Amino acid sequence: MMSLHLLPRRLGRLAVLALAPAVAACGERDSLVATGPDAALPMHALGQAPLVLRGTVVTPTGVIKHGYVSIDGGRIVAVSARLPVIPGAVTINTEGIIVPGFVDVHNHVPWNVLPRWTAGRTFTNRNQWRSDPDHLRIVGEPFARLLPSHVCDMNAWGELRALVGGTTSSMTTQPVPCIHGLVRNLDFNSGFYGTTELNREHVFNVLDLPPASDPDARAAFVGAARFFTANPFYEALVMHVAEGTDAAAYEEFAFLQSQGLLNPKGAVIHGIPLGASDFQAMAAAGTALVWSPRSNLELYAATADVGAALDAGVEIALAPDWAITGGGNMLDELAVAARWNRERLGGRLSDRQLLEMVTAAPARVAGVDDEVGAIRAGLRADLLVVAGNHNAPYGAVVAATTAAVRLVLVGGVPLYGDRALMERAWAPGDLEDVLVAGAPKTLATRAAALEVAAVAGRLQPALLAEGTSLAPLAEAAGGAAQASRVSAGNDPAPFSARP
């Protein structure tokens, strides 16, 4: 949600957009080594020993109620209804529902060290709340003072908050080498392209369009955007556009359309004031929508017309925006979207469609659906396991809170989850117990290369010195229970973001 200036620059032989700091980077994980089917897996030499997860498996073609996901070298090698015969494999009976890890294409991770902010009023454009004295005092100024000296820990805490809610890939960061990443970062260091070099990703995230009052900056933006969309090296151009309800917010979209920048690589984040004809234009061009309902409702008392977007056939991904006014994690945002679906869309979206909005759809939006976003052979083993009703797995995931998260894997590495499952993959000394919204969970500190207590121990005094405190890893009752009641657009009936 922070502002930036867009300037052309050179990166090696390629021109890119200069983006301001926003969230955390990530890198490739090590792999698995096993000493036997019942032994713990020393994760310091990953990829050499297979891992098999048992549970209810949600695949692109349906559900395997008693299924198996076989993992080797950090990738899914098989999905089956029978226990595979894989020499040396370690089998973990998750007793849960296995789905793809969530792909978050709209967040601002380092900000999420700060507690939730409630403005007490709504706005018509993002520039209004950015300059709001209360926001500056409570959020903006403390963040700006903390970032130079605490950027690494701020990103680490923000990524922990994403991880506990099932996220395995996220968007937007700054290329700071100390940010190694707990979850993959899609626009600076995903690990997808055979390198851990920063700034070599195929996705660009535009936080602000230059204002209409600066025609030179706009011309430079148009030139850079056209370069990206024409160059096959780049797979996605994700743009924060039309964040608000007034004419200035809508003008941003009208400008993109007038410049021919709606295209199959493009995605519009927010799109609050867009109407049916706008979504039809997006669909005709293959441009997607990234929907962030909770933050939109908190700040603007309105959100994108998802019904019109669906009518037009626009691809829709769901994402939290940030934990300051949006969902604390992807599960929180799912709860808000599910409630909106029931109360405002007449249940038009199935639970399966809602789940796809945080898995397959955002992977397609970011152009990484050949790597993540589904459970099928050949893709990265970025997986989430939740407890719930095996007879209604889609609904169980949509209704899940952080307490239901049993296991999260990135690149086949169990990073976080219930101790009973984590001990199947790690020695006890490699694990750290953490309390997440009152539920006991465990982090693999060797793979994470950090300890939660240590990061918190450095951040909390710094935040207290700013007159604030460290945000929890997850809010009580999934965070959405704390949301205020707001009106949606011109509809006088209040909508509660509570699940």
Q: What is the DSSP letter of 440?
A: E
Q: Is the pLDDT of residue 149 over 90?
A: yes
Average pLDDT, the chain: 86
Q: What is the DSSP letter of 210?
A: P
pTM of the predicted protein model: 0.89
C-alpha gyration radius of the chain: 21
- Residue of 47 and 111 predicted with greater confidence: 111
Report domain 1-499's class: alpha beta
Query: What does the pLDDT look like over 33-79, one tens digit per residue?
Result: 222 223 333 333 344 589 999 999 999 999 999 999 999 999 999 99
- Give the pairing of strands 431-436 and 485-488: unpaired
In sequence order, what are the residues at sequence separation of 6 or more whose Cβ sits closer than 8 angstroms to the Cβ of residue 115?
468, 469, 471
Q: What is the DSSP letter of 189?
A: B
Q: What is the DSSP letter of 302?
A: -
- Residue of 192 and 77 predicted with greater confidence: 77
pLDDT at 48: 58
Q: Is the dihedral of CA 385, 390, 395, 396 positive or negative?
A: negative
3 state SS of 307: helix
- Give the pairing of strands 491-496 and 8-11: unpaired
Query: What does the pLDDT look like over 288-336, one tens digit per residue?
Result: 999 999 999 999 999 999 999 999 999 999 999 999 999 999 999 999 9
Query: What does the pLDDT look like over 193-238, one tens digit per residue?
Result: 765 555 667 888 888 999 999 999 999 999 999 999 999 888 999 9
Query: How crowded is residue 346: how many other Cβ atoms within 10 Å of its Cβ?
Result: 9
Query: What does the pLDDT look like over 472-498, one tens digit per residue?
Result: 999 986 444 444 443 444 343 445 443
- 126-130: long-range contacts, CB 8 A cutoff, minimum separation 24: 126/1, 126/243, 126/244, 126/249, 126/299, 127/248, 128/244, 129/299, 130/1, 130/3
Q: In whole angstroms, what separates CA 92 from the centre of its chain?
A: 26
Per the CB < 8 A criterion, the answer to whether 99 and 383 are in contact is yes
CA nearest to 408, candidates 352, 331, 476, 351? 331
CA nearest to 234, candidates 196, 201, 208, 188? 201
Q: Where are the alpha helices (DSSP H) in 97-232?
A: 126-130, 133-135, 141-163, 215-230
pLDDT at 130: 96
pLDDT at 338: 98
Task: Give residue 173's pLDDT band: very low, low, confident or very high (50, 70, 90).
Answer: low
Where do the structural domains in the chain lie, given as residue ranges?
Answer: 1-499
* Beta sheet of 184-185, edge-to-edge order: 102-103, 167-170, 184-185
Query: What does the pLDDT look like over 345-363, one tens digit per residue?
Result: 999 999 999 999 999 999 9
